[in-house]
Amino acid sequence: MSFERDLQKGAVAELAVRRWADSAGFYSQASVGRNPAWDVLLRASIEVKTDFRASTTGYFFIETHSHGKPSGISISQATTYALCTGTDGYFVGVELLKSFLGQLAERYVADGQKTGRLLPIRVLKTLPHLAVNLGAQLE
């Protein structure tokens, strides 16, 4: 293989990474110049949400209203949600998440003050996301 051919294949891979990152809620930027210090820069504003019961129930509760007013993801200005279950974290684009959640029924929390959607973890894993193992850090 030649250097030029390898360079072309690398450019295709970098574009694929950027497209995935953009679909997952990150904003990507390609490097500039012949010998950059990095290939792809990712930027995101991240809102971290935890649901420690999600790994047991199989559902992640995402709040949409509190005391009758929009809250949670409904008013989030973040580009990305980090959904943490205690051992796993999933980074998902907010706009993608909102569009998917719109298909799910609204649920009330036991206190009757908050409503939200129950996102099945198995479905979450099918959305463009970045998964990280948090180990026992949050337990």
pLDDT exceeding 70 applies to what percent of the chain?
A: 96
Measured distance CA(50)–CA(84) in Å, rounded: 5
User: Which helix (H) or strand (E) element contains residue 123?
Assistant: helix 121-124
Residues 66, 75, 71: CA angle, nearest 5 degrees: 5
Q: pLDDT of 55-111, one tens digit each?
A: 899 999 999 999 999 999 999 999 999 999 878 888 898 998 999 999 999 888 878
Measured distance CA(96)–CA(26) in Å, rounded: 11
Measured distance CA(122)–CA(17) in Å, rounded: 23
- Contact by Cβ (8 Å): 111, 67: no
Q: pTM, whole model, 2 decimals?
A: 0.78
